[in-house]
Homo-oligomer: A and B are copies of this chain.
């Protein structure tokens, strides 16, 4: 499960019915690449989260019929890193 940072909400008036009424967020990885994910946990801009990909993303959205391939799985509080950090991801405390 990749580690990404929430940037903002996505405004998207024309979308497939299969996404239903899900909230969409724009996320970015440590290198600045942006992606769109369904958010069932209520993450805010600036939160670091991990995301579930593939068919598990549909179950993670709360309903297998939601047609997503990327869903936020949890908001990261912190982790303890035991070596130097070079990736730009959160080191100790996040939030």
- Chain A contact surface mostly: mixed
- Given the complex, which residues of B lie within 8 Å of A3, measured CB to CB? 26, 34-36
Q: Please, how many residues of chain A have a CB less than 8 angstroms from a CB on the other chain?
A: 60
B76 lies within 8 A of A18 (CB) = no
Q: For chain A, residues 26 to 73, give those with C-beta under 8 angstroms from any C-beta of chain B.
A: 26, 30, 32-37, 40-42, 45-46, 50, 52-60, 65, 67-73
A sample of 21 cross-chain residue pairs with beta-carbon separation below 8 angstroms, ordered by A number, consists of A3-B34, A10-B76, A12-B77, A13-B75, A13-B77, A15-B73, A15-B75, A16-B60, A18-B59, A18-B73, A19-B73, A24-B50, A26-B79, A30-B34, A32-B87, A33-B87, A34-B87, A46-B82, A55-B55, A56-B67, A67-B73
